[in-house]
Structure 1
C-alpha cells in the first residue's frame, strides 16, 4: 500500500477505532427489555428540545434494572420513528455531555441508532447522510451495518456492484465516503459470521483502493469488538433493543453466528480472532496487503490486555515489520486520546513516554495519530490545530500540523476553506498545514 492510500484510509479507520478504548465498560445485554417500561409515555417530534427529551430518558433509565445503557438505547431507538435519527443522535449527544456512563458508551449507542434507522436499500443513502458526525461517526457505520444485515437476511449476493454502489452517492463528500467504506467492513463481518478472512476477501471486491483499505479497517475493528466486547456488535444491539425495538433482530440472527471467536471460516480452517499470547496476531498471519490496517487497530486489544501499559504496547508496535510501524504507532496515538480522556496535555505526555520507550520518530507518529483522531471525533479540523499548538518540538509540531492539514482534505471541500483553517496555526507552521492540505504547489502525500 502506498503511504498516500494508507493515510487517506486511516481517516476512516480513526473514526471508529477510538471507541475500543472506552469499551471497557460494556453495555449489559438484556434478554427481556422491561427496563424501558420505566420511561414515562411521551410523544416527541423533530421540533422537541433535545435537553427535554434527554431529561425524560435519563429519569426513566438511570436506575433501570438491566443497566442504564440498554435502557437509554431503547429510549433513543423509540425516538427514531417519532422524531428522526438526527434528533435521536442530538439527544444522545446531550446525554453524553451530562452523564459519564452514557459518554463511555456513546459511540456504541450511535452504532445501534444507525442500525435501527436503516429502512431499505432504496433509502440507505438518504438515511446515511441524515446521520451527524458526532460520537465518532457511529451512526454512519450503524446504517451501513443495517444495510448488510438486510441483504444477508434476504440471501442477496454481495458482489462488486453492491459494494461499489453503496458508497458511490457520497463520492463527492470525502468524509462521508470514508465513513461509508469503514462501515462496510463492520457490516461484512456480520454477514460473514465474524470470520475475518471472509470479510477481508469481500472487501477486496470493491473497485476503489481507498474503499478497500477503509473496509479492511472496519473489519479488523469488528474482529476486536466481537472478541472483547460482543455486546457492542450488531448482534449485541439487537439483543439490547429486543423484539419490537430493533429493526434487525431477525436479520442479525441470520447474519451473525454469535460470538465464537474460534469458529471455522470456510476455506480458511479454524479462525481465532485474537491471541493474548501473541500480541501481534492476527496481523502476523494475514496477507501483507491487510497488515497496515491490522496494525493500525492492534494497539486496542494490547492496551486492554496490559491495562494501559504504554511501554508494553509501544514494544509491540516496535516489533512490527518496518513498513507497518507508522500504522501501529499512529493507532497507539489514537488509543491514547481515549485512555487520557481526550485531554491534550495528557495525550502529548503519553506520546512522549512512547517516544522515551522507543524513539523520537515513534513519538511523532503517536502525536499524528492523536491529532487525526481528535479531528475525526468532531469532524472539525480546528480541534487538531488546537492540539498541535500544544505540542513541543519543532519536527513533532511540524508533522502534527501537516497531518491536520492532510485530514482537512476529507472535511473541507474548498481550498479557500482549508486555507482559512490553516491560518489558525502558529505563524511559523502555517506552511506545514498548507502542505498537508495540498494548498501549495510542492505539496505531496509522501
Structure 2
C-alpha cells in the first residue's frame, strides 16, 4: 500500500508518482484511447496519469481540468493525487502552447483547483523547451508575461513557484544548482521559486531518471539547515512533509523535531512549526469531511504543540496554508471559530493571521483572476 507525502492543500502526492510519470509514454492519441480508470483501475495511479495526459492533449486542458475537478469532488483517491495530476495536464498544455496561452487556458477558478498544479506543470514545460544552459541567460523571461500583466498576483505566484520545479528538472534534482537558478530571478520570484525546488525535492525521491539526493531518513529536516537563510522558511514549509511521512503522520514527533532546532536569527524553529501547521491543515482536509469538522481536527492537532509558542505558530501556519494554497479564507475563519471554544489567545492569534494572510495573498481568495495574454 502506498504512503503519501502531504504537499499541498486539497491534495497529496505518492512518492511513487515521479516514477509513474517517468514510465508513462506519450503519443498521438484519439478519444478511444482515454482510459476510464474505473473498477480496479480506480486505484491505479498510472491509469489516472495517462487519462489526464490524453485528455489534455486530445481535448484541451480546460476539458481535462473540468473532468479532474469532477473526479476530485467525488473520488478520494483522485483527491489525494489532484495536485500532481494537475501538473500532468499543465505539462501537456505547456508542450503545445506558449506559456501565456497555456496560462489563459487554465482553470476558471484561477488556480485554487488542486493548489495551482496546472500552472506549475505549464512552467516546467516552458523551461524544458529552453534547456539547462540557455535558461541561465533567459530565466527572467519565463514569468515575464505575468510579471508585466499581473505582478505578484496569483498567476505570477504560480509561475514563480513553478520555476523551482522546472530548475529541479533541468538540473537533475540538484537542490543547490536549482536554488542557484532561483537566484537569477528577482527577489520575490526567487523566494517562491525556492518553494518549488523544495517541493520537487520530495516528489523526486523515487524518480528513476533523476532521484533526489537531498533527503535523509535519519535527518528528516535536511537540507534546510545548510541552505541560505533567505530560503530556509520555504525549505521548512515543504520539508515538514517528509518529516511527517517518516513519523507516520505523528504530529507530536515533528513538533519535537522542530522545537529541537536552534532559535536563531534565521527563525528556523518558527519556520518549521509554521510549516508543520500547514501540513496539519492538509491532513485535516485529507481525512475529514466538512469545513467545521476540518477546523476542529486542525485545532486539535495544533493544540498538541508542547508550548504556547508552538501552538501559536501552528495556527499561523495552518491559516497561511489555507489562504495561500487553497483560497481558503472561509476554512481559515472556521479554524478561528473553533479556537474560540478554548480559553487563551489562540482565537485572536488566528484572527490576526487571517487578516495578515489575506493582505499578503488576498488576490488568491478575494478576486477573480484574469488570465494573462500575450502582448
TM-score scaled by length of structure 1? 0.68
Q: Is 1:137 aligned to 2:127, yes or no?
A: no
Pairwise CA distance, 1:413: 5.2
Pairwise CA distance, 1:71: 1.9
Measure the CA separation in 2 of the matches of 1:72 and 1:350: 32
2:32 aligns to what SS in structure 1? coil
Measure the CA separation in 2 of the matches of 1:413 and 1:309: 34
Q: Report the number of matched residues.
A: 341
Pairwise CA distance, 1:400: 1.6
Measure the CA separation in 2 of the matches of 1:366 and 1:225: 24
Q: 1:128 aligns with which of 76, 89, 103?
A: 103
Structure 2 partner of 1:324? 268
Measure the CA separation in 1 of the matches of 2:20 and 2:42: 7
User: Contact 2:11–2:80 at 8 Å: present in 1 too?
Assistant: no
The 3 A distance-change label for structure 1 pair 170 and 373 is farther
1:17 aligns to what SS in structure 2? strand
Q: 2:92 aligns with which of 107, 116, 131?
A: 116
User: Contact 2:199–2:238 at 8 Å: present in 1 too?
Assistant: yes
Structure 2 partner of 1:275? 216
Gap runs ≥5 in structure 2: 1-5, 289-293, 368-375
Structure 1 partner of 2:134? 156
Structure 1 partner of 2:185? 206
What's the RMSD between the two structures over aligned residues?
3.2
Q: 2:300 aligns with which of 339, 349, 357?
A: 349
Q: Is 1:225 aligned to 2:203, yes or no?
A: yes
User: Contact 1:297–1:328 at 8 Å: present in 2 too?
Assistant: no
User: Contact 1:21–1:335 at 8 Å: present in 2 too?
Assistant: no
Measured against aligned partners, the alpha-carbon deviations of 1:124-147 in whole angstroms (never above 9, x if no partner) come to: 023124322101111111111111
Structure 2 partner of 1:374? 322
Q: Is 1:165 aligned to 2:148, yes or no?
A: no
Pairwise CA distance, 1:226: 0.9
1:22 aligns to what SS in structure 2? strand
User: Contact 1:170–1:176 at 8 Å: present in 2 too?
Assistant: no
1:23 aligns to what SS in structure 2? strand
The 3 A distance-change label for structure 1 pair 114 and 216 is same
Pairwise CA distance, 1:108: 0.8
Q: Specify the structure having the higher radius of gyration (Cα).
A: 1
1:41 aligns to what SS in structure 2? helix
Q: 2:281 aligns with which of 337, 342, 353?
A: 337
The 3 A distance-change label for structure 1 pair 379 and 130 is farther
Q: Is 1:89 aligned to 2:65, yes or no?
A: yes
Structure 1 partner of 2:56? 80
Structure 2 partner of 1:422? none
Measure the CA separation in 1 of the matches of 2:11 and 2:362: 28
User: Contact 1:381–1:411 at 8 Å: present in 2 too?
Assistant: no
The 3 A distance-change label for structure 1 pair 167 and 185 is farther
User: Contact 2:11–2:114 at 8 Å: present in 1 too?
Assistant: no
Measured against aligned partners, the alpha-carbon deviations of 1:284-314 in whole angstroms (never above 9, x if no partner) come to: 2222222222122221111101111212101
Gap runs ≥5 in structure 1: 1-15, 43-55, 231-235, 237-257, 262-271, 419-446
Measure the CA separation in 2 of the matches of 1:318 and 1:166: 42
Structure 1 partner of 2:337? 389
Structure 1 partner of 2:354? 404
Structure 2 partner of 1:187? 166
User: Contact 2:136–2:184 at 8 Å: present in 1 too?
Assistant: no
User: Contact 1:131–1:140 at 8 Å: present in 2 too?
Assistant: yes
